[in-house]
Amino acid sequence: MNFNFLNISIWTWLIAISGIALVIFTFINEKVNNDEKLKEKDELINELKNIITGGDSYFFFQPQIVSGSNRILLLYKFSGKYSIYDSSIQIHEYDLIQLNNLKYNYQKVNTLTVNHSTLNPLIEMNYLLEVQIPNHSSPNSQFGKKYFMTIASRNGLIEEDIIIRKEGNNQPTIAYKVISHLPKFSESYPNYDHSTIKARNRHIDPAFPVHELDHTRGDSSWTAKFEFFTGSDLKINESEER
């Protein structure tokens, strides 16, 4: 009897342990499946939000000299895979003028507003503005255009500075930088009071007069750490020379 009792007890323990192991395995498996479903659900929600808001897509304007002409086009440049909605572009235009003391400075001459309901990568086939550069200039002549743009869209705010310069008979030179402000969304509305600043794009032609780049401090300056940059590697001490 004792031998049978011991055998029965061992088998009972084995069955009990197996049952517990099965319960634990089932619990872990269900938890993994639930975690995967939650992850898939979160990814789906995030994808839907990106489709609705535009995600991390943005656009800006890239000046390009038209070969064999005296024209510069401000081309649309699109970055990202999601369409951008409800964009309002404010364009502030400045001309370089000569002051009474023979020095030069920029004076605001125009303000424009352009609105787009929807933008996608196909917009790169278009341009916003055309800038005419003087054909013939004296050796001492100065030509300059400056544009400050704000692009407010459903998914954030873009600030862009563009400067076009021509000194004497030299070729035109260009500098531009693009800064984005990514808002924290509250009830689907962007809140720019707590936005994240990202330095997106910067280009400075090697012959550009860097002393005109007077914004050289902070996250949105010419010397910020840009995601993409081409042309001159601007240094602070260069831009501070006067």
Instruction: Say whether both 132 and 68 belong to one domain.
Output: yes
Instruction: Say whether both 147 and 163 belong to one domain.
Output: yes
Mean pLDDT of 123-143: 82
Instruction: Say whether both 94 and 204 belong to one domain.
Output: yes
Instruction: Say whether both 63 and 45 belong to one domain.
Output: no
What's the confidence (pLDDT) of residue 40? Answer: 77
Least confident piece of the model among 72-81, 95-104, 109-118 = 95-104
Instruction: Say whether both 177 and 117 belong to one domain.
Output: yes
> Given a cut of 90, is residue 7 above it in pLDDT?
no
Instruction: Say whether both 25 and 86 belong to one domain.
Output: no
Return mean pLDDT, the chain: 81
Task: Write the CA distances from 108 to 68, 91, 111, 147, integer angstroms.
Answer: 29, 11, 8, 9
Beta strands in 133-210 (DSSP E): 142-153, 156-167, 173-186, 189-204
What share of the chain has pLDDT > 90, as a percent? Answer: 40
The answer for residues whose C-beta is within 8 angstroms of residue 81's C-beta and 6 or more apart is 55, 57
pLDDT in tens, 161-188: 999 999 887 889 999 999 998 776 555 5
Instruction: Say whether both 84 and 176 belong to one domain.
Output: yes
How many folded domains does the chain comprise?
2
242 pLDDT band (50/70/90 cuts)? Answer: very low
Instruction: Tell whether pTM > 0.85.
Output: no
Instruction: Say whether both 30 and 138 belong to one domain.
Output: no
Residue 104: domain span: 58-239
Mean pLDDT of 69-78: 92
> Given a cut of 50, is residue 148 above it in pLDDT?
yes
1 pLDDT band (50/70/90 cuts)? Answer: very low
Instruction: Say whether both 133 and 30 belong to one domain.
Output: no
pLDDT in tens, 60-69: 999 999 988 8
> Given a cut of 70, is residue 34 above it in pLDDT?
no
- 116 vs 220, residue with greater confidence: 116
Q: In what order do the strands lie in the sheet with 127-132?
A: 58-65, 71-79, 127-132
